[in-house]
């Protein structure tokens, strides 16, 4: 794949230096060329990079290799049909001047660039609304810059009113102050969250209503910004795994797997067959659990409380299996670089099969209430539709994108861990409405159960960790009985697993969509930079497109249907 992608990109841009990094092609361009190259990548039909995955910056001020400028901005872009990923890097000579915006090409660039501005202080010329997104508005400085001290805490005394933003959004609908003074138009502002039960976490939704219809909508996030990326720069790779649990806390294991996979793929580690199958079994089991929680909460919001018990009780039951496996209910921390924390326990197949049967029964019971329910149909069909073009432009991935009819799933399009050997299908929707998002999730639960059963039949015996003393810990027997083992253990714990110098992006199909990690390594045991590409963040950036023109009560169930998880949204 690498060579063809490289040839394609190099052919399209003969004058630009190209190289490869794992599966992606990296282009380094000057800011003056940036706009031309990005727009060619997006608009040229032979290239067709329609999905802007992520934008971030890198601060090289402490990097051992000297670079021409302190900051670089990186755009990560995907052509989902041909499974190509391109990273476009551009040097930023002066962060105050910055680089031209890409927000007119992809809508996802809007929030991506805002985050880069917030965290690194880089200006994007021509950006429509460049302000902070994760940190509060009274914050001074840019925390991901290397000279920002991690515990420099800044108190926020007052929440942002968002008045300017909602008025600007109203202006795009041709409603200004004079229309609002008109007696026949009455615009009411309604704020929901960030501490409202319907927002399922800390998200703030501000709507301008005409009656019960949403005319304009703006959102504010960042209320659960916990500094994951800054904290990760001061942890060894294995120490970051417990932090990844707390990204999407409804499916912690998938974050563990995604993180470990990203580091291993750069180091060129091929984990053991058994570990690969374990990761498949557990990922798919957690995908089913994640969807259970999402659907349970969604149906509660619609007034179907019974569904909550049917669905959530199966999740609760699964905690017995998970606790026995890894010692915790919610925060699994089960993977390690080079394999797993440990093997399954004796007799796990029986427990797993019982849980799968339980989930099937719970889902069937819930579907019995939902599938032919007139109220559910009326409230969800053709409501809050998201067209495939809009979804791709906003960087929506996962079940929400598939509900809009785009059959993009990394497990099929860029298979890892033998996913191409499993027999499963990718459910897609036809309208991109709430109904499709619900039903895609229900069907994905059945598909995941099927994958788990297939993997349980195929899983080979053998070790779960590779035997490389630079990566995995020696056995306790060696640690206690010979000096080599003891020294190896000591070094790995203190210094961490060392990764080769370089930068890379690796992605994984998590329950909510493409979960990517963008690393910069300086060769030490700690990442120089660790940026998460959270699926929720970009899905949420398109929220207003779904709800404007709909009723306020629909916005609530729409929020549940895109399954926003604060931990990965705000990191």
Partner 1 sequence: MALGLEAKLGDTVLTTQLDAVVNWGRQNSLWPMVFGTACCAIEFMSAAASHHDISRWGAEVVRFSPRQADLMLVCGTISYKQAPILKRIYEQMPEPKWVVAMGACASSGGVYDNYCTVQGIDKVIPVDVYISGCPPRPEAVLDALMKIQDQIKGESVLEDRHKDFKGILD
Residues 249-268 that bind partner 1 (CB under 8 A): 249-250
β-bridge mates for residue 515, sequence order: 508
Residue 464 vs 556, nearer CB to partner 1? 556
* Residue 147 engages partner 1 in binding (rule: CB under 8 A): no
The Cα angle at residue 249 between residues 77 and 290, in degrees rounded to 5: 80
DSSP 173-196: TT--HHHHHSTT--EEEEEE-SS-
Helix, strand, coil percentages (3-state) for the chain, rounded to 5, are: 45, 15, 40
Binding region for partner 1 (CB under 8 A) out of 74-82, 98-106, 307-315, 550-558: 307-315
Instruction: Quote the tokens at residue 200.
Output: 């399922």
Binding region for partner 1 (CB under 8 A) out of 106-114, 129-137, 167-175, 261-269: 129-137
β-bridge mates for residue 58, sequence order: 72
* Residue 546 engages partner 1 in binding (rule: CB under 8 A): no
* Residue 146 engages partner 1 in binding (rule: CB under 8 A): no
* Residue 143 engages partner 1 in binding (rule: CB under 8 A): yes
How are beta strands 513-521 and 51-59 bridged, if at all? unpaired
* Residue 50 engages partner 1 in binding (rule: CB under 8 A): no
Reported as half-sphere exposure (CB side, CA atoms, 13 A), residue 367 has a value of: 15
Shortest Cβ 251–partner 1 spacing (Å)? 11
Residue 142 vs 498, nearer CB to partner 1? 142
Shortest Cβ 255–partner 1 spacing (Å)? 12
* Residue 243 engages partner 1 in binding (rule: CB under 8 A): yes
* Residue 156 engages partner 1 in binding (rule: CB under 8 A): yes
* Residue 477 engages partner 1 in binding (rule: CB under 8 A): no
* CB burial readout 86-108, b (16+ within 10 A) else e: bbbbbbbeebeebbbbbbebbbb
Residue choice 207, 238, 331, 558 for contact with partner 1 (CB under 8 A): 331
Binding region for partner 1 (CB under 8 A) out of 31-39, 327-335, 338-346, 465-473: 327-335
Q: Within 10 A of 466 (CB to CB), how many other CB atoms are there?
A: 16
Residue 485 vs 566, nearer CB to partner 1? 566
Residue choice 4, 32, 69, 154 for contact with partner 1 (CB under 8 A): 154
* Residue 196 engages partner 1 in binding (rule: CB under 8 A): yes
Shortest Cβ 227–partner 1 spacing (Å)? 4
CA distance 451 to 289: 14
Find all residues with CB under 8 Å of 61, minimum gap 6, and list them: 70, 145, 146, 147
* Residue 246 engages partner 1 in binding (rule: CB under 8 A): yes
Residue 277 vs 310, nearer CB to partner 1? 310
* Residue 104 engages partner 1 in binding (rule: CB under 8 A): no
* Residue 293 engages partner 1 in binding (rule: CB under 8 A): yes
Shortest Cβ 303–partner 1 spacing (Å)? 15
Instruction: Quote the tokens at residue 128.
Output: 């429509």
Binding region for partner 1 (CB under 8 A) out of 79-87, 180-188, 239-247, 506-514: 239-247
* Residue 405 engages partner 1 in binding (rule: CB under 8 A): no
CA distance 378 to 19: 52
Binding region for partner 1 (CB under 8 A) out of 5-13, 87-95, 149-157, 538-546: 149-157
Residue choice 121, 395, 542, 567 for contact with partner 1 (CB under 8 A): 567
CB 543, CB 214: distance < 8 Å: no
Residue 200 vs 274, nearer CB to partner 1? 200
CB 266, CB 499: distance < 8 Å: yes
Residue with tokens 């417990």: 242
Shortest Cβ 570–partner 1 spacing (Å)? 8
Residue choice 313, 354, 469, 524 for contact with partner 1 (CB under 8 A): 313
Count of residues that interact with partner 1, criterion CB under 8 A:
49
Shortest Cβ 555–partner 1 spacing (Å)? 17
Taken in order 498, 262, 68, 10, is the CA torsion positive or negative?
positive
Residue choice 15, 96, 151, 420 for contact with partner 1 (CB under 8 A): 151
Reported as half-sphere exposure (CB side, CA atoms, 13 A), residue 528 has a value of: 20
Shortest Cβ 317–partner 1 spacing (Å)? 8
CA distance 536 to 542: 10
Residue 244 vs 283, nearer CB to partner 1? 244
Burial (CB < 10 A; 0-12, 13-18, 19+), residue 460, is: exposed
DSSP 44-113: -TTT---EEEEEEEEE-TT-SS--SSSEEEEEEEEETTTTEEEEEEEEES-TTT-EE--TTT-THHHHHH
Residue 23 vs 160, nearer CB to partner 1? 160
Residue 209 vs 317, nearer CB to partner 1? 317
CB 307, CB 295: distance < 8 Å: yes
Q: Within 10 A of 198 (CB to CB), how many other CB atoms are there?
A: 17
Residue 68 vs 151, nearer CB to partner 1? 151
* Residue 224 engages partner 1 in binding (rule: CB under 8 A): yes
Binding region for partner 1 (CB under 8 A) out of 38-46, 105-113, 188-196, 396-404: 188-196
Binding region for partner 1 (CB under 8 A) out of 12-20, 168-176, 314-322, 543-551: 314-322
* Residue 305 engages partner 1 in binding (rule: CB under 8 A): no
Residue 242 vs 549, nearer CB to partner 1? 242
* Residue 449 engages partner 1 in binding (rule: CB under 8 A): no
Reported as half-sphere exposure (CB side, CA atoms, 13 A), residue 419 has a value of: 20
CA distance 341 to 453: 22
Shortest Cβ 164–partner 1 spacing (Å)? 18
Ranges of H-type helices in 371-433: 374-380, 388-393, 399-403, 410-413
Residues near partner 1 (CB under 8 A) are 134-136, 143, 148-159, 194-197, 201-202, 222-227, 230-231, 242-243, 245-246, 249-250, 293, 308-309, 312-313, 316-317, 319, 329-331, 566-567
């Amino acid at each position: 794949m690498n060579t063809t992608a490289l040839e394609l990109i190099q052919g399209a841009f003969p004058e630009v230096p190209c190289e490869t990094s794992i599966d992606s092609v990296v282009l380094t361009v000057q800011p003056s060329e940036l706009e031309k190259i990005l727009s060619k990548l997006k608009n040229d039909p032979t290239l067709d990079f329609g999905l802007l995955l992520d934008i971030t910056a890198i601060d090289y001020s402490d990097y051992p290799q000297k670079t021409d400028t302190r900051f670089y901005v990186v755009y990560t872009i995907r052509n989902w049909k041909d499974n190509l990923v391109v990273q476009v890097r551009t040097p930023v000579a002066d962060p105050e001047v910055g680089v031209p915006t890409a927000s007119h090409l992809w809508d996802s660039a809007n929030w991506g660039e805002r985050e880069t501005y917030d965290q690194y202080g880089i200006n994007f010329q021509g950006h429509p609304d460049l302000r902070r997104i994760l940190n509060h508005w009274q914050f001074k400085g840019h925390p991901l810059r290397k000279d920002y001290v991690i515990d420099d805490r800044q108190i926020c005394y007052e929440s942002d009113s968002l008045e300017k933003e909602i008025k600007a959004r109203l202006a795009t609908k041709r409603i200004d102050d004079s229309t609002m003074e008109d007696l026949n138009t009455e615009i009411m502002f309604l704020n929901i969250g960030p501490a409202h039960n319907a927002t399922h976490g800390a998200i703030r939704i501000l709507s301008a209503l005409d009656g019960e219809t949403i005319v304009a909508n703006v959102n504010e996030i960042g209320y659960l910004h916990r500094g994951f990326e800054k904290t990760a720069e001061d942890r060894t790779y294995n120490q970051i795994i417990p932090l990844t649990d707390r990204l999407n806390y409804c499916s912690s294991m998938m974050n563990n797997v995604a993180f470990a996979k990203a580091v291993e793929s750069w180091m060129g580690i091929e984990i053991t067959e058994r570990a690969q199958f374990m990761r498949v079994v557990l990922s798919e089991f957690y995908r089913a659990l994640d969807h259970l929680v999402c659907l349970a909460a969604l149906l509660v919001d619609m007034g179907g409380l019974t569904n909550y018990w049917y669905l959530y009780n199966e999740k609760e039951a699964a905690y017995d299996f998970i606790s026995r496996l890894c010692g915790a209910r919610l925060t699994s921390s089960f993977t390690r670089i080079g394999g797993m924390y440990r093997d399954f326990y004796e007799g796990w197949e029986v427990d797993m099969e019982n849980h799968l049967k339980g989930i099937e029964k719970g889902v069937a019971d819930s579907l019995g209430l939902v599938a032919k329910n007139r109220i559910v149909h009326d409230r969800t069909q053709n409501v809050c539709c998201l067209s495939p073009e809009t979804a791709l432009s906003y960087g929506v991935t996962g079940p929400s994108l598939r509900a809009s009819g785009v059959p993009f799933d990394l497990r099929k399009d860029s298979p890892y861990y033998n996913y191409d050997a499993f027999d499963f299908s990718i459910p897609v929707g036809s309208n991109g409405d709430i109904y499709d998002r619900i039903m895609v999730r229900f069907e994905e639960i059945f598909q995941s159960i099927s994958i788990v059963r297939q993997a349980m039949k195929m899983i080979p015996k053998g070790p779960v960790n590779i035997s490389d003393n630079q990566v995995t810990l020696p056995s306790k027997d060696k640690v206690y009985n010979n000096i080599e083992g003891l020294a190896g253990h000591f070094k790995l714990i203190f210094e961490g697993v060392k990764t080769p110098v370089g930068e890379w992006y690796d992605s994984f199909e998590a329950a909510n969509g493409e979960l990517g990690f963008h690393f910069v390594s300086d060769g030490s045991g700690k990442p120089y930079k660790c940026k998460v590409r959270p699926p929720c963040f970009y899905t949420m950036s398109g929220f207003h497109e779904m709800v404007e023109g709909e009723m306020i009560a629909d916005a609530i169930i729409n929020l549940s249907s895109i399954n926003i998880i604060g931990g990965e949204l705000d990191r």
